[in-house]
Amino acid sequence: MIGKKKFIIFLQRANQQDLLALNELIEEGKVKPVIDRTYSIEEVQEAFQYFEEGHSQGKVIITI
């Protein structure tokens, strides 16, 4: 408890059936990742700042 707000952590374990269904959708091209921005490893600090601002509309990628 923090103040009067209660936080609940929800974790779901993937099962084989779900993973197979997800794999099928990916192979059919029905699920595609949305990449917002790409940063180099030298720009990690800028990438985290951008992500923390909450403006990203997709994945923020750091390339090595």
Strands 59-63 and 35-40 come out as parallel
Q: What is the pLDDT, as a whole number, of residue 10?
A: 66
Which residue would you say has higher pLDDT here, 16 or 10? 16
Mean pLDDT of the chain: 85
One-letter amino acid of 11: L
Predicted confidence (pLDDT) per residue in 23-41, tens digit:
999 899 998 888 999 999 9
User: What is the rounded average pLDDT of the residues 12-24?
Assistant: 86
Distances 20 to 12, 24, 29, 33 between C-alpha atoms, Å: 16, 6, 14, 18
Q: What is the pLDDT, as a whole number, of residue 54?
A: 86
CA distance 34 to 48: 17
